[in-house]
Structure 1
Amino acid sequence: MKSLLKIVLVVGLFTSLFSCQKDDGVSLQEDRPYDEVYAEDIAEIEEFLHTHYVTVDADYNTTFTQIPDGGTQTPIWDMPELDFKEVDKHDITYKVYYLNFREGVGENITRVDSSYVSYKGFAFNKTTTDGVDTYNQTVFDEKQSPIWLSLDEVITGWAYIMPLFKTGTFTPMADGSISYNDFGTGVMFLPSGLAYFSSGTLTIPSYASLVFSFKLHNLRRRDHDQDGILSMYEYGPDFDEDPIDTDEDGRPDYIDVDDDADGVLTKVERSFTYLDGGETKTGYYPYNGALVDDPSTPYDDTKGIPSCSNDFTSPTRLRRHLDPSCRN
């Protein structure tokens, strides 16, 4: 399934990660080919990495500076923190460079979760005067205080790089604030095909490669279709691939209320009844059962969503909400 760049209109907010193509009455030109633009983008990004060094302060704030002639600063290209991830999109294998200053000690985020992040984004362009190349950096957005961003609602590159990092720890403070520590922090260098591509804004040119420094303070697991199963379980085992669509109806399982199209809601198929003090109540199996049963509950907490044959625990079982031949 061909992935489309997500563009969300949010009035007055998030003009970098969320954007909309302005309609100024001028006819839009046809988009340039992705492969042609990517060839230019990757050459530009790699040249930037070879010609700049980065300064990182105690709070992991970054400053990028061009290495002067004869300078001895270590270019980003030679830093041990530099790595890359390959992303297959638009019939291209994108090479996405990123700096990993600290992975984080908490949980990995997935591309269907919400991230609590602070960040700074800038675009750069090269000008040449009297044979001397100069890189101009334009910061188009910065959030020093963390905000919540859903990774499936922002530019594509974030959904691939952020899951390489983890959250940290947090401590409630006496004044009601929260102190975050040991969280993942780094920098991503995004080709335009994984950013805004042809959709420019007042501050972001069309076909611009973008750089984001970021800090992943926290995450929130999401349940898009409110069926009681976290979207991270319904997306599929490989988040680099397209999401699973069990009934092939065009709606991936994580946004489908009836995953197997058997006419019974997924939420209903994970339900069960139990007696509590002589009263019949309805409970819901979790996707995976608990490791240890809680003796205070009147049912077995170790049972996850069962198969049609009532297998509650096998990791490879076909859970009944994904089996159209199974009826609750």
Structure 2
Amino acid sequence: MKHGIFVFLLVAVCFTSCNNDDNGGPDVISVPPRLLAEVAPENDEEIKEFLQTHFYNYEEFESPPAGFDFKIKIDTIAGANANKTPLADQVSEMEIKVSSFEHGLSEEEIDVPHTIYYLSARDGIGVSPTVADSVFVRYEGLLLDGTSFDASLNNAVWFDLARLQDLQQGFRGFAEGVPNFKAGGTITENGDGTVTVDGYGVGMIIFPSGLGFFEAIGGSIPQYSPLIFNIDLYTINISDHDNDGIPSIQEDLNGNGYLYDDNTDAQGEEDAGLTVRFANFQDADDDGDGVSTRNEISDDNGNIIIPYPDSNGDGTPDYLDPDTN
């Protein structure tokens, strides 16, 4: 089902083994999830081997033949392709730190490094999104063995990158990777439900399971599987999820690219007994003082004041300071 993989809820999986005990009943053995710190380097070795032994159709991108569809095609370096340049020589990489709570794991692990590899096959003529924005893309998701587990290749679809960072979505790697590409230009509707976009960006992302489903099974994705996404980035929408006048990316206060660990009024939410907590980019009253963020950053005519007001001069803007309202 197209883009269905992104809406699967993560399912906790255990392996069971049944043996007859003295009473004739089964013994059920539950295998706990592996550690992030154990799986991450294994996945990285798998990915590096893939990058060393595979290439993409870079020659077509460098000198596009007539009618070229600007699709990334991956093949093995062997036989007639033995002299091709491996992906390992063409990709860039970035490190993302992942903690066990992102997967709902009981074993506490904090900031385990995971490496994303990405390839920009064609630069878009537009701007790049942030991890807080929404993107309009065509895409295909693949396993390292080439198995396609999800795709929307004919019609582009919208994805909220911030939502894909959510713990129950499990595709932080997708959200972190797409901002490395640029969108296209003018979008033209073709009248048949499809669109044509000038100069859209084309790229590929490869990331370890700790930035995907990890130990859970999602559709045809096995446990602990690195994932590949081929992306056509058409356009973007800069997001303000809580409509408080502050772009969501500016609510990543610690600047780590992860939106869900910035919650100025977390203590107040805990004291109030709330079972659902709201990160700043989801919260229309960031400091929990009863005055909306938008009111605290606007003048009497509703115009947003830049820089954001800091009425007591303590270096903390009013919308993040519960002592001012």
TM-score range, shorter chain: 0.7 to 0.9
Equivalent position to 2:281, from 248, 254, 259: 254
Paired position in structure 2 for 1:324: 322
Residue in structure 2 matching 1:113, options 126, 133, 158: 133
Corresponding residue number in structure 2 for 1:291: none
- The 8 Å contact of residues 141 and 149 in structure 2, kept in 1 or not, is answered as yes
C-alpha distance in 2 between matches for 1:34 and 1:52? 26
| RMSD value, Cα | 2.8
- Whole-Å Cα distance in 2 between the matches of residues 246 and 23 of structure 1? 31
SS in 1 for 2:73: strand
Partner Cα separation in structure 2 for residue 185 and residue 138 of structure 1: 20
Quick check: which one's strand share is greater? 1
Q: 1:202 to 1:267 in 2, by over 3 A?
A: closer
Does residue 231 of the first structure (1) align with residue 231 of the second (2)?
Answer: no
Q: Helix, strand or coil for the counterpart of 1:61?
A: coil
TM-superposed CA distance for 1:13, in Å, is 5.2
Q: Where does residue 9 of structure 2 map in the other structure?
A: 20
Deviations 1:196-236 (A, max 9, x none): 11111341111111111101111112222232322122223
What residue in structure 2 maps to residue 285 of structure 1? 303
Measure, in 2, the Cα distance between the counterparts of 1:220 and 1:164. Answer: 16
Separation of aligned partners in 1, 2:293 and 2:10: 37
CA contact (8 A) 1:157 1:194 kept: yes
Matches within 5 A, 1:171-320: 171-172=187-188, 175=191, 178-236=195-253, 238-240=255-257, 243-249=261-267, 251-273=278-300, 283-286=301-304, 288=306, 305-308=308-311, 318-320=316-318
Do the aligned partners of residues 260 and 21 (structure 1) sit closer, same or farther apart at CA in structure 2, a change above 3 Å counting?
A: closer
Matched residues, number: 274
Which consecutive residues of structure 2, in runs of 5 or more, have no partner in the other structure? 17-29, 61-67, 100-110, 165-170, 268-276
Check conservation: 2:131, 2:257, Cα contact below 8 A: no
Of the three residues 50, 62, 72, the one matched with 2:72 is 62
Distance 1:233 1:287, change over 3 A: farther
Separation in 1 of the partners of 2:42 and 2:266? 37
TM-score (norm: length of structure 2):
0.74
2: CA distance between counterparts of 1:24 and 1:97?
28
Partner of 1:76: 87
d(CA) in 2 for partners of 1:319, 1:142: 43
How far, CA to CA, are the matches of 2:305 and 2:135 in structure 1? Answer: 22
Following the alignment from structure 1 to structure 2, what is the Cα–Cα distance between the partners of residues 214 and 168?
12
* Structure 1 residues 89 and 17: CA distance shift in structure 2, 3 A: same
Q: Distance in 1 between matches of 2:98 and 2:118?
A: 18
- Provide the residue aligned with 1:162 in structure 2: 178
Are the structure 2 counterparts of residues 169 and 248 from structure 1 closer, same or farther at C-alpha, using a change threshold of 3 Å?
Answer: same
Equivalent residue letter for 2:299:
F
Listed as ranges, the gaps of 5+ residues in structure 1 are 1-11, 125-135, 274-282, 289-303
Question: Equivalent residue for 2:272?
Answer: none
